[in-house]
Amino acid sequence: MSLLLAGASAVSRSAAHAQVGHLPEQSPYDDVKLGQTVSFMAGWSAVKRDPAGVAPASSIAAVLRYDAAVGGPASLFVRYTLAPSSRNVLAPNQPRVTRVARNQSVATHALEGGIDIALTGKKTWRSLMPLLSGGVGVVSDFAATDSGAYRFGTKFAFSYGLGLRYFPKRGPQLRLDVTNSIWQFQYPDRYFVLTSDTTSVLTNTNDRAAWRGTWGLSAGVTIPIFR
């Protein structure tokens, strides 16, 4: 992430200084219209392990997003992400060696809204436009409470990240996003009860409500609409 931020900062500084001294036909900068766009993207959702080990596993992800310019370098966006995966279902009343009851399929759905800021303003540098983004929304797996009394539920989430748009002279625009989405895991009391081997799923009550981030990498095609 630090390398991406450093690169974005370098391009932004270059955009502020390098336009002076270039003939228009030789300048690496081009004016662009941000307008409204729809992006169809696919990638990978890298889920950080939660304290109880019941989070969905890392998996592929599909992303659909709508962007609308609102003035200057800013655009508002709505993003829907679907990540089909699987997770462990625990039997918290069992000893450690037999505690994982089964592995079940699960699909995580995330709906967010937020803002993108183009670091080169309403221009591209060599057809590239780096972006900073932040958003808030909800995430859910729409599943009922499992046999171990755990339920993912619907949770508040917030996200931040970097993006890169490519504006070719011809053909479709391309987009690459790196995003960290953060939400809270909450666990039932049963996870803290000792079993016959004097262990429990969790021992530290500070883990009862744990925040974890999920990194997402996605790339795809961006289509301008309502020109």
Domain boundaries of the chain, sorted by first residue: 2-13+35-225
Q: What digits encode the pLDDT tens for the residues 100-133? A: 999 999 999 999 999 999 999 888 888 899 999 9
DSSP string, 53-90: S-SPPPEEEEEEEEEEEEETTEEEEEEEEEEEEEEEEE
pLDDT at 1: 54
Q: Record the pTM.
A: 0.85
Q: What digits encode the pLDDT tens for the residues 128-184? A: 999 999 999 999 999 999 999 999 999 999 999 999 999 998 888 999 999 999 999
Provide the 10 A C-beta neighbour count for residue 84.
14
Average pLDDT over residues 24-34: 75
Return the C-alpha torsion angle 114, 220, 64, 150, nearest 10.
Answer: -90
Q: How confident is the model at residue 26 (pLDDT cuts 50, 70, 90)?
A: low
Is 2-13+35-225 a domain of CATH 2.40.160.20? yes
Average pLDDT over residues 198-217: 92
Residues pairing with 85 in the sheet: 106
Q: What digits encode the pLDDT tens for the residues 37-65? A: 999 999 999 999 899 999 999 999 999 99
Closest alpha carbon to 40 in 170, 226, 218: 218
Q: What spatial distance separates the first Cα and last Cα of the chain, rounded to whole Å?
A: 34
pLDDT at 160: 97
Distance separating alpha carbons of residues 168 and 82, to the nearest angstrom: 28
